[in-house]
Structure 1
Amino acid sequence: MKKNRDTVGVEKNKKTSSNAELQADKAKDEQPKASQKSDEGRRFTVSQRLIISVMVVVCVAVLVYIGLEVVIRSVDARNEREFDRRVDSCADYAVYAVNSYNADGDMREAVGDIKTMAYSLSGRILVIDPGYRVVVDSYDKETGKYMADPEVLQVMTGKTPEVSEQYDRVYRKIMPVVDSEGYTDAVIIFAVKIDELDNYSAGLRHNSMYLFALVVILGMVAAYFIAKLSVRDVNRTRGIIEGMKGGSLEQMDTSGMFGEMKALTKDINNIFNKAQLLEESRQEFVSNVSHELKTPITSMKVLSESLLTQSDVPAEMYREFMEDIVQEIDREAEIISDLLTLVKTDKGPDSLNKESVDMDEFMDLILKRLRPLADKRSIQLSYESFGEIHASIDKVKFTLAISNLIENGIKYNVDGGWIKVSLNSDHKNFYIKVADSGVGIPEDCINHIFERFYRVDKARSRDTGGTGLGLAITKNIIILHKGTINVYSEPGKGTTFTVRVPLGEQ
């Protein structure tokens, strides 16, 4: 007994340790997921409105800055030209005054006019005679002194027509006074401070900064409204979609939207239309499945209750009822089998197991298997092939698709009728045609025969054992093979199905 308890304890310890290991492994697996979620949470997202606002503000700021800089430089250039014009005008007048008074024999008589001109320029004017003595100084500081600067010597001797220079914020111009005979009688020096130009330029730049700040603020306000307008349609569409979470896929109004957003909203409406159709199709499919599966069960229940409520039921009746129940069970199994097949064909092209198939041998095998069914009703089943054809198909699924077409031709044919099957191809596709002399399909039903659980004649379909899924399965399989199926029929004159499928890789 003790031994058994020890054994149980060891087993419990093993289970506990194994559970702990499982929990540890689970925790390890969850750690990357948790870190991944935290990384996703830390990702920085930027709204479209913010990006547009920043872009508009930056563009406005750059454009305003460039515009103000162009204006300031234009004004500075204009002021400099005006300044040069004034200096040149005063210089010309000073030369004229010096020449006039020099002709009278006393250059000092020009002092008054020269001082007036110097005052108008807010500068200083000096007149130097050929002996390099200052005869006129508007500041009266250098009068009577000698000035032999290199620039003065070059102008006086005629080596340089004139000198214009600027240093320490002072503009200096040296030019000769030439008489009527071409001799240099004197040299005039203009010295003007350019602080006035600098002050004006500085004031202009200072004021432009206020203007720049004001325009940027206005640009920010404009950017806000532009950004708000740009995402108006997005927010409107998002609000409508948020309201659709309950499942109501209503159409969105595109009036008043921008062209790009209107096109996008129309695409979304098309997607909603398709989703609505899919939802309606799903609901109808579920309803049909429920009905189709419930019908055999109801029949079996009625048959069973009939036997249970009667006493002294003959053995023949028991046998008859049990045969009916077995038929209903087979019918139920057939419906479930077709539903499973339909689900498999809905998985997409990846579910295909393609192989290169000799289509002539492939069709011979199908017809060989179905010919006994046709012989029971004296239906002539013929086959015609045009050339040797190889194609890449899923042999199992494609067998089911073609068998359904031929079986339908047998089920819905007249006794002693015919079914003609042909195989042909071109350089890209192969073609299979199945024509019969059966009852045909009404014109208003042709567009619905590939729908799930659709039956042209429900009573006749039940007699022939149809589930209403055969043609839906056939179309799915052909679409999986990137092919098409078409039907032509007239009531009482038979039906023709034409299948076109690419040959595929050989």
Structure 2
Amino acid sequence: MNRISFQWRITLMTAVLIAGACICLNLLLYHSGATGMDNLNGYVLQYQQNDDENLMIEIPDDQMSDFLIQFSQEVYDAKAVFGRKGWCITAAVTLLSAAIAYFVSGKALEPLKKLAQQAERIDQDSLVEVRLEENTIPEFRDLSQSVNHMLDRLAHSFDLQRQFAGNAAHELKTPLAIMQAKLEMFAEEHPDTDSEITDLLRFQTDQVSRLASLVRTLLEMSDLQSIPREDHIELAPLADEIVADLTPLAQRRSITLFQECEDVSIKGSDTLIYRLLFNLVENGIKYNTPGGSVHITIRQKESSAVLRVADTGCGIPEEYRTSVFQPFFRVDKSRSREMGGVGLGLALVREIALLHGGTVTAEPADGHGTVFTVTLPIQA
């Protein structure tokens, strides 16, 4: 029953109600008609003519028996025809009423369908912008108002969460910087320490550096909304700059960088778009195979700029291609820790794309590897 739509439930219940009413009405009419015909049959059989002045129909005695039998048969046939017509009318009225009920209920449920379409556009990043229409029928108006109030509370909760993350990251930044400086100074002042202490210092320095990187990324993610997005950005020179910055890392890992960039310009934050493309290319280098390649492609498609970063790495399983954009998610945790990642690079890419009115997706590359596609409007 749960698989049946609400419209079909209303239709079926209405059809059952109409069918029950028609059946009861038909039985009552049939009983009344049949009783009347039986009374007529009995009246003819028991009729005696006493008034000579009235019209008389004389039936010979030898034909009276046949007349009575034929009249009784006619009455029986008339009742049978009356019953069949009644059931046919019941079925027709039920079907017609059910069809009318289906379309009428569909018309009545249109506000609910509109509410469902509006609710589908709601996610974590559109809690403030998207609101359900409250100018509707009373039954759905209360529902819309309740959902809108819930969205306001959720948006407030997410704002508090972002503020907490930003404040916590800001408070952690200074002590981590002091710890990192102290460890580096200790290592420089005591170059002749034994191997165990050297390994411990290296381990502590790496972990503090990793925590510092995590704190910087959290600060960036919590402060994205306040960054102005009014820059005129030439994407091709931006890609050239990123390739130049990442060439040393690519050379150390024997990765070849290719780029095919059209002259496309967008409006937004130059700093954020640089970070978006930088993170995608850096991931393509880090999670690639030795001797592999990373292809950067920038094209204009209608009123959007399409940025594609394709690598020749091991690829991302289909069930993880959406989850990789969630904070702290890792497909291969052991390899991510080996690469020094904190699990926020792709989450930051997604936040930047959404902030500029765009989207980002992960798809399998031809052969092997992964293709990240970012679509950004030309005019944000």
TM superposition score category, shorter chain reference: 0.5 to 0.7
How many pairs were matched up?
Answer: 225
Q: Distance in 1 between matches of 2:164 and 2:315?
A: 29
Task: Indicate how the Cα distance of structure 1 residues 286 and 457 shifts in structure 2: closer, same or farther if over 3 A, else same.
Answer: farther
- Tell me by how many angstroms 1:265 deviates: 1.7
**2:203 is the alignment partner of 1:328:** no
Cα deviations by residue, 1:420-467 (Å, 9 ceiling, x for unpaired): 111111452211100111121122222211111111122111111111
What's the secondary structure of 1:356's corresponding residue?
A: strand
2:271 maps to 396
Contact 2:289–2:313, Cα closer than 8 Å, also in 1: yes
Contact 1:353–1:393, Cα closer than 8 Å, also in 2: yes
Amino acid at match of 1:496: V
Q: Distance in 2 between matches of 1:481 and 1:362?
A: 17
- Tell me by how many angstroms 1:341 deviates: 0.6
Contact 1:413–1:439, Cα closer than 8 Å, also in 2: yes
- Tell me by how many angstroms 1:325 deviates: 0.9
1:341 maps to 220
Task: Indicate how the Cα distance of structure 1 residues 271 and 403 shifts in structure 2: closer, same or farther if over 3 A, else same.
Answer: farther
Cα deviations by residue, 1:133-189 (Å, 9 ceiling, x for unpaired): xxxxxxxxxxxxxxxxxxxxxxxxxxxxxxxxxxxxxxxxxxxxxxxxxxxxxxxxx
**2:336 is the alignment partner of 1:452:** no
**2:359 is the alignment partner of 1:484:** yes
**2:190 is the alignment partner of 1:315:** no
**In the TM superposition, what are the counterparts of 1:17-416 in structure 2 within 5 Å?**
259-269=137-147, 272=150, 315-345=194-224, 347=225, 351-386=227-262, 388-416=263-291
Structure with max Cα Rg:
1
Amino acid at match of 2:250: A
Q: Distance in 2 between matches of 1:404 and 1:450?
A: 12
What's the secondary structure of 2:373's corresponding residue?
A: strand
TM-score normalised by structure 1 residue count: 0.40
The structure with the largest strand share of the pair is 1
- Tell me by how many angstroms 1:338 deviates: 0.5
Cα deviations by residue, 1:173-228 (Å, 9 ceiling, x for unpaired): xxxxxxxxxxxxxxxxxxxxxxxxxxxxxxxxxxxxxxxxxxxxxxxxxxxxxxxx
1:109 maps to none
Contact 1:355–1:393, Cα closer than 8 Å, also in 2: yes
Q: Distance in 2 between matches of 1:422 and 1:286?
A: 38
Cα deviations by residue, 1:54-105 (Å, 9 ceiling, x for unpaired): xxxxxxxxxxxxxxxxxxxxxxxxxxxxxxxxxxxxxxxxxxxxxxxxxxxx
What's the secondary structure of 2:306's corresponding residue?
A: strand
- Tell me by how many angstroms 1:481 deviates: 1.3
Instruction: Provide structure 1 residue ranges, at least 5 long, that are not aligned to the other structure.
Output: 1-257, 305-312
RMSD: 3.4
Amino acid at match of 1:352: P
- Tell me by how many angstroms 1:377 deviates: 1.3
What's the secondary structure of 2:325's corresponding residue?
A: coil
1:498 maps to 373
2:345 maps to 470
- Tell me by how many angstroms 1:272 deviates: 2.8
Q: Distance in 2 between matches of 1:397 and 1:351?
A: 8
Identity in percent: 29
Q: Distance in 2 between matches of 1:441 and 1:275?
A: 35
What's the secondary structure of 1:449's corresponding residue?
A: helix
Task: Indicate how the Cα distance of structure 1 residues 268 and 396 shifts in structure 2: closer, same or farther if over 3 A, else same.
Answer: same
Task: Indicate how the Cα distance of structure 1 residues 443 and 326 shifts in structure 2: closer, same or farther if over 3 A, else same.
Answer: same
Cα deviations by residue, 1:345-378 (Å, 9 ceiling, x for unpaired): 1x2xx63242223221111011111121111111
Contact 1:441–1:491, Cα closer than 8 Å, also in 2: no
Contact 2:365–2:371, Cα closer than 8 Å, also in 1: no
1:124 maps to none
What's the secondary structure of 2:322's corresponding residue?
A: helix
Task: Indicate how the Cα distance of structure 1 residues 281 and 489 shifts in structure 2: closer, same or farther if over 3 A, else same.
Answer: farther
Contact 2:229–2:267, Cα closer than 8 Å, also in 1: no
Q: Distance in 2 between matches of 1:274 and 1:414?
A: 46
